[in-house]
Chains A and B, each alone.
Chain A
Amino acid sequence: MTRRAAPLVRAAWALAAAFAVTLGILLAAGAPPFATLAVMAEGGLGSQAAALRTLAAFTPLLLCGAALCVTFAANLWNIGVEGQITMGAIFAQGCLRAADPAGGLPAGLDLALGLAASALGGLVWALLAGMLRTHGRVHEIFSGLGLNFVAMGVSLWLILGPWKRPGMASMSGTETLDQALWLPALGGRPMSMVGPILAVAAFVGAAWLLRRTFFGLTLAAVRQNALAATRLGLRPGLRILAAMGICGALAGLAGGILVAGLYHRLIPSISGNYGYTAILAVLLASGSLLALPAACLFFAVLTVGSVQLPLSLSLDSSLAGVLQGVLVLTLFAARRLRPLSRRREP
């Protein structure tokens, strides 16, 4: 096999193995395997409405995926993306509910400010985890996980407390924003194209940053060897904070887009596990920037399509979550357990 073909063959083998295990799990769950997959694909891409729902899920996934590529580039396990999305949503909601759609600034500027605020919210939340890492020696996995719970608590407190609907608090969220403050929708559907465009731009920007700039090279240096980076005066601590900040800003922006472009209010658990799913997508793409959009799209289809499972096949929709996890784990295992793999001598 040629050198160029080798990664393709590896990927094909890993995908085949993952597919086989997935079918096995479906059989074990008592589901007709091929029908289940067909229902999920149909539910995710079968109609224009389904495609739009998938696009709505794809947007935060791609934003968070791009964000995570930046932190992974510096060897950071930023588990706190969920919290950073939530904080972005809170900042966006706070900014937009303070805006006056009737007078004052033009609505477009209000929206831009709202999205900027969301990026700021995510950035602050990520820097908190970053500084705990660089100054407090708390690993970002633990601080990220902890801060996810804190962010969720803050959002619940706001929804049920200071920002509750007039009259009574509701778990369905805060009062809906004035329509003038929604991101411009497409063909009257509750879906804005601004989000996907921003997500693609963020992805391209992150790819450029990591591949083409000196900053990207220094992040790679910090990932490869923080000690050697210190020795060359590259200030790994500062680079880690910068990577966390960029990641948090993009994740926060995803939260802002969820508020201004999809829900038009702050709802509980607005992050919707996109932060965790994005980690899976980045792992599935295994560090390849080119493969990341495809992985995000794949998970968006799975997430949206699984809603159809209870309706069409009386299966629990959590099966999609099981499949996502199994797929990623199998892919990783398959890469190691590849047949005819040449073990390196010690």
Chain B
Amino acid sequence: MDVVLSHIVKRFGQLIANDDVSLTLEAGRIHGLLGENGAGKSTLMKVLCGQLSPEAGEIVVDGAAHARLTPDAAAALGIGMLPQDPLDFPPLRVWENFALGGGPVLTRREARSRLEAVCSRMGFCLRPDVPVADLTVAERQHLELARLFDRDVRLLILDEPTSGISPAQKRTLFAVLRAFVSDGRRLVALVTHKLTEARELCDAVAILRHGRLAGSFAAPFDTQDVLTAMFGAEVAATATAAPPPPPEPLGLGTPVLRAANLVIADDKAVLRDVSLEVHPGEIVGLAGISGGGQEALLRGLAGIARSVAGELAIGGRDLAGRPATDFLAAGVHYLPAARMEEGLFPGLSLLDHVRLAFPDKRREARAIFAERCVGRFRLTNTPNARADALSGGNQQRLLLSLIPDDTRLLLADNPTRGLDAASIAQIWDHFRERAAAGAAVVFFSEDLDELLAQAGRVLVFFNRDMAADLPAASLDPGLVGDLMTGRSTAAANGGGSAP
């Protein structure tokens, strides 16, 4: 199967997501599609699998040209996509999900036997009667892949498949993909923003930048060339430079945060029995797969999820079971992962955000906006713009500028998710500044590389429990990955303990 994307143009209002992109995907190969967040990779793949209609250009599949595809037509041609976030039905069972979607719905018996067949062929282990809600991200990926393989997909598109899975699970996935293309008739298109993954897996890569094709390379490719195509020469130089080492704690005096046998009850999960001390100047990273308990810890430390047992003291105040306002008064600030959904007021102006965040100084809101938002955080919007008009990077800049200066404990859930390289660098610079000034920063990132590069200490979570507390010296991606997926325990590996 050969697929050619020819002069594809796709617009969203003013934004040109794909600007005259042409790409050839050959059978028997794994093609990488690289680029920064927002470069247009996912859009292009959605055009290819029929979820979006392009404004111009055509899709040529085995010589037959199509002006656009529908999801049905794409499936009939053998094009299938594994989306970034699983598009399944969590309350339904594994075999029910397998039976649904793409072609005729299978009967219970058909679905079970075909699921078993495809699982044994690919080496997956999926129990048919388990609700999908109970599966890990990796298992949900396997289910989706099993469904696509069963429907005889020939072009498999994967959108950031390694976010939320461990290094070991990643190796398994890559082996499956290599086996998939080995017969020379099928092919894979892999969307990623991680160069290392592309180097490891892909036979050829195409790079998108600001919606345009910025270059294509065949393996083995030169890292510097690819980076330059992705970011432009200037940023590429800094991107390859190692980040500055994480700051040392300012001293082991009074901890900012002290938790003993703390139990946190979040909406969905209960985090058991956490004991922990964090000192001023520390940057602590939380590692764990989605739902492992690290999000619950952040929300519990912010006072949004309730502490139902144990002790919790922040800045010397006892806060277990207290309302969120007491946490704010103690100098805690929480940056949510879903910036718009949990952090901002979509229909209110930026100025109103400043008024709400600094109610005592609301008469000086304009001055604060000019000084903090524009001056310090380089927000490029006008004060009367509505929050829902902000780009992802500017949303985070606004949220950063609303953090009070006297914050002692800054909690951040995936602070850089979906942002471009410049914004990410700005966020880490700011966090390091805060830490140097005596605040403690606790953050969770799904990107293990980022986590290990930025954190001075890593707490690993597995199955709603704190599995390990690793000092910077004993950080190793393999170990952290095994701990966060429960493949090993801290004791078995002689992992570090609290300093």
Contact = CB atoms under 8 A, between A and B. Distances in A.
B304 interface: yes
A217 B347 CA distance: 11
A227 B355 contact: no
Contacts of A231: 302, 304, 324, 334, 336, 342-343
Interface in A213-246: 214, 217-218, 220-221, 224-225, 227-235
B382 to A, nearest CB: 16
Interface in B19-43: none
Contacts, number: 58
B130 interface: no
A229 B359 CA distance: 12
How big is the B interface, by class? Answer: 20 to 34
Contact of A230 (B324, B345, B346, B348): B324
A229 B302 CA distance: 13
A233 B403 CA distance: 13
Contacts of B329: 233
Nearest to A342: B13
Contact of A345 (B13, B302, B328, B344): B13
A218 B325 contact: no
Given A221-B348, A233-B325, A227 B356 contact: no
Count chain B CB atoms within 10 A of each CB in A218, A220, A221, A234 and give the residue with the most.
Answer: A221
A225 B334 contact: no
B476 interface: no
Contacts of B355: 214, 217
Contacts of B336: 227, 231
Contact of B346 (A225, A229, A235, A344): A225
Contact of B362 (A214, A221, A229, A345): A214
A227 B328 contact: no
A218 B345 CA distance: 11
Q: Give the interface SS of chain A, mostly helix, strand, loop or mixed.
A: helix
B352 interface: yes
B304 A220 contact: no
Count chain B CB atoms within 10 A of each CB in A214, A218, A224 and give the residue with the most.
Answer: A224
A232 B342 CA distance: 11
B68 to A, nearest CB: 14
B325 A235 contact: yes
Contacts of B13: 344-345
B55 to A, nearest CB: 11
A91 to B, nearest CB: 33
Interface of A: 214, 217-218, 220-221, 224-225, 227-235, 344-345
26 contacts: A214-B355, A214-B359, A214-B362, A220-B347, A220-B352, A221-B348, A221-B352, A221-B356, A224-B345, A224-B346, A225-B342, A225-B343, A225-B346, A227-B304, A227-B336, A227-B341, A227-B342, A228-B345, A231-B302, A231-B334, A231-B343, A233-B325, A234-B356, A344-B13, A345-B12, A345-B13
7 A-B pairs with least C-beta separation: A224-B345, A233-B328, A233-B325, A227-B342, A225-B345, A345-B12, A221-B345
